[in-house]
Amino acid sequence: MQTNFLSQQFNAGYLAENSTACPANATICDGTSCVLQEDNFNHTLSVVLSTVLTIMLAMVMFSMGCNVEINNFLGHLRRPWGIFVGFLCQFGIMPLTAFLLSLAFNILPIQAVVVLIMGCCPGGTASNIIAYWVDGDMDLSISMTTCSTLLAMGMMPLCLLIYTKMWTDSSAIVLPYDSIGISLVALVVPISFGIFVNHKWPSKAKIILKVGSILGAVLIVIIAVVGGILYKGSWVIPPKLWIIGTIFPAAGYTLGFLLARVAGLSWHRCRTVSLETGMQNTQLCSTIVQLSFTPEQLELMFTFPLIYSIFQLTFALLILGGYRLYKRYHVKTKTDVEKTPPKEDSKSTAIINGGFVSDEMK
C-alpha cells in the first residue's frame, strides 16, 4: 500500500481538463489512468526526514517531561476527573462531530470513513507543545495524551464499529496496533526521563524545558512544510473535504473548551482539554488509511489528514496568539480562577511552564 506514496495516479477526467496526454515520464497509460515513475527524491527525503523528525520529537517530549511534577502527574491519575473529561471529548465529541459533518455535507462513503477515522484517532503530541505555550496544565496534557493513546487500542475499533456501519464494514478498516504501540512508547519513554530529570535536577530541567519548547515550535513548522513537499502531487481534493477539514478542528477546540468549563475545570485546564481535543494524531490516521484502502480509493481522500493537520495547526496558532495578547494587555480577573476548591491546584498552578507564568497565577 505504500506504493501509493511513490506513485501518482491521474484519472481520465483530471487529465482531460489539464492535458491532452499522459505525462512524458508515465510508465503506464491505458486511457483511463497514468502511473508515474517512483519519485526517488521524495522517497529518500521521506526516510531521512522521518528519522530526523522522530529524533527531534523524542527530544521535545523529553523536554516537555521536564515540566511535569511527578506528584501532580500521579495526582491526575488518582483523581482522574480532568482525564475523564478529556476522554469524553476525545472519544465522544470528536467521533460524533465527524459523523455529523459527514452527513451534513453528504460526502462519498469512502470520504466519510476517512473523516471518521480522523475523529476516532487519539490526541497528537503537538498538543503538548502548544499547551506549554498557552500556560496549560502540562501534567494534565501529558497524562491525557498518554491515556488517549493507550485507550485508543479499544476505543478506536468501538467508535468505528458504531459510526461507520452505514458506509462500510468496520472490519475492512485495518488498525495498526503496532504503530499505536510505537507511538505510546515514543511518548512515554522520553517523558519519563524528563520527569526523572525534573525530580532530580529541577534547575537543569528548566533550561532543557526552554530549549525544548523552542525546538518544539520549530518541529511543528517543519512537519507542516515537509507534508506539503512530500504530498505535493495529492492536492486534487473535493471542496467539501476542504470545508470539513476547516470546520472539524475548530469544532474540536471549541467543544472541548466548553465541555471542560461546564465540568468545572479551571481556565488553564480548559485550554489544555481544548487543545487535546482538537489536535489529533494525523500521522496515525494516514497510516490507517494507507493500510485499509486501494490506490484508487486513496485518490478520493488521502490528503484529508494533511488538510486537517494544516488547519488544526492554524487554529492552534490563533489560540496561542490570542492568549499571548490577552496576557500582555489584561490583568488578572476574578473569573480566571478555579471553580472547584483551590486546594488541589494551588501548588501546581504556581509553577506552570517554567519561564512562563500565567496572569492567573500572579
Query: Is the pTM higher than 0.85?
Result: no
Per-residue pLDDT reduced to its tens digit, 55-68: 777 777 787 778 77
> What's the distance, CA 110 to chain centroid?
22
Distance CA 255, CA 258 (A): 5
What is the b/e burial string over 337-350, where b = at least 16 CB atoms within 10 angstroms of the residue's CB?
A: ebeeeeebbeebbe
3 state SS for 287-311: HHHHHHCCHHHHHHHCCHHHHHHHH
Taking only the tens of pLDDT, the chain with its 362 residues reads: 434 433 343 344 444 444 445 555 444 444 444 444 445 555 565 566 667 667 777 777 787 778 777 777 777 778 889 899 999 999 999 999 999 999 999 888 888 888 998 998 888 778 888 888 898 888 888 888 888 888 888 888 888 888 888 777 666 677 767 776 777 777 778 888 888 888 888 888 888 877 877 777 777 677 666 666 655 545 567 788 889 999 999 999 999 999 999 999 999 999 999 999 999 888 778 777 777 777 666 666 667 888 888 899 899 999 999 998 988 887 554 444 444 454 444 444 444 444 344 444 44
Q: What pLDDT, on the 0 to 100 scale, is given for residue 171?
A: 66
Q: What pLDDT, on the 0 to 100 scale, is given for residue 255?
A: 95
Q: What pLDDT, on the 0 to 100 scale, is given for residue 94?
A: 94
Determine how β-strand 26-29 pairs with β-strand 33-36. antiparallel
Q: What pLDDT, on the 0 to 100 scale, is given for residue 2?
A: 38
Distance CA 251, CA 304 (A): 16
User: Residue 297 burial by CB count (10 A; 0-12/13-18/19+): exposed, middle or buried?
Assistant: middle
What is the b/e burial string over 39-58, where b = at least 16 CB atoms within 10 angstroms of the residue's CB?
A: beebeeebeebeeeeeebbb
Q: What pLDDT, on the 0 to 100 scale, is given for residue 32?
A: 45
